[in-house]
Amino acid sequence: MDLFKTFLIFAVTAVAEIVGCYLPYLWLQQGRSAWLLVPAAASLALFAWLLSLHPSAAGRVYAAYGGVYIGVAVVWLMLVDKVQPTATDWIGVSVSLCGMAIIMFGPRAA
């Protein structure tokens, strides 16, 4: 799987996971409708399905996905929570994306 496609699937997967967790948060913490649990469950199902699209071993995919998740979560912080990320937030994102690239694209023993 090429770099762009892998990153894109990981990014969409992260959004699905965040939405699936954010909607119950709105219900539990902000008193919104319990009906938000329906799209939350669908979003988490989408999240699980998207992770299954990668041909690598599941543990490797989950580890690498975590790096992209960190980046998407910081963008979510900025766009949805309206909190400006700090320089150290962006440094952490950079480090995690480097880790993701090493895990997903590093050489493998035959």
Mean pLDDT check: name the lowest of 20-24, 28-32, 104-108. 104-108
Task: Return the H-helix or E-strand segment holding 79.
Answer: helix 58-79
Distance CA 71, CA 14 (A): 9
Indicate whether 1 pLDDT > 60: no
Q: Which two tokens stand for residue 18?
A: 């965040």
Kindly report the average pLDDT of the chain as a whole number: 91
Residue 105 CB coordination number (10 Å): 13
pTM of the model: 0.84
State the number of CA atoms in the 13 A half-sphere of 92 facing the CB. 13
* 53 and 5 Cβ atoms separated by less than 8 Å: no
Distance CA 73, CA 16 (A): 11
Task: Return the H-helix or E-strand segment holding 99.
Answer: helix 87-105
* 44 and 15 Cβ atoms separated by less than 8 Å: no
Q: Write out pLDDT tens, residues 56-99.
A: 778 888 888 888 899 999 999 999 999 999 999 999 999 999 98
- Residue 110's pLDDT is what? 62
